[in-house]
Every structure is written in C-alpha cells, then in structure tokens.
Copies of this chain bind each other. A is one copy, B any other.
Amino acid sequence: MLTDEYRYKILKILEANPEISQRDLAKKLNISLGRVNFCLKALIEKGLLKASNFRNSQNKLAYMYLLTSQGLEEKSVITARFLKAKLQEYAKLQAEIEELRQDSHQVLNNSFHQAEIHAL
C-alpha cells in the first residue's frame, strides 16, 4: 500500500539523495525491500519519479531515482496534505493524552480509596 506518509518520505529522501539503493531506502523507512520496490514502481507509474542509470563512485552501474517536474509539484501537494493530517493527529493525541491522564488519576484515587477501606 502506498500512503501519503510514504509518498512524502520517499519523495523527500530521493530529492536529497537520488542514488540511494532500494535496500538502504528500506532501512531508512523501516519497511521491507519488497514494499519499497512496490512503492517506487507506483511512483514511477504515476509519473512522479523516473529511474535512470548512472555510474556511481566505483564506476558501477546503478539506478538513480529522479523526481520529474510533476513529481516536484505533487510533492508539495502531498506534503501539505500530509501536514494537515498530522496536525489533526496531533490534536486528537492531545485529547487522548488528557483522557489518559484523567484515567490514571482515577486509578490512583481508586487505590487510595481501597487503601482507606482497607484501613477500617
């Protein structure tokens, strides 16, 4: 599955470092090689990336994943959309944490209550 999270992360990494291998990309993203391969193909398919050959420092043939102009445009759209989602997540998390805080206080109060009862 190719989510905005990986669209964003992959385009960002490749923009800064187009000659990264799929294996290193997988490590950086903490996902499997197979999934990286799937995501890259999808991004190429959609015209956001282009794979081209180049000679690396050891004069070895390797791929280079370059953002197309459409890729650059889309990256900003995806980034904005992803940021919006993250902000919503953030607000939700704030509420959840507040709720959890109240729950753990309640637990403490319960313990206290039981201690009181126990003391009778």
Chain A residues at the B interface, C-beta cutoff of 8 Å? 8, 12, 72, 75-76, 79-80, 82-83, 86-87, 89-90, 93-94, 96-97, 100-101, 103-104, 107, 110-111
* Contact A82:B100 (CB < 8 A) given known A89-B93, A93-B93: yes
Contact B93 A79 (CB under 8 A): no
Taking CB atoms, residues of chain B closer than 8 Å to A82 are 100
Q: How far is the CA of A90 from the CA of B111 in the complex (A)?
A: 28
Contact A75 B12 (CB under 8 A): no
Pick from B79, B101, B104: contact of A103, CB under 8 Å:
B79
Taking CB atoms, residues of chain B closer than 8 Å to A101 are 83
Pick from B83, B103, B111: contact of A12, CB under 8 Å:
B103
Q: Tell me the minimal C-beta distance from A14 to chain B in angstroms.
A: 14
Taking CB atoms, residues of chain B closer than 8 Å to A12 are 103
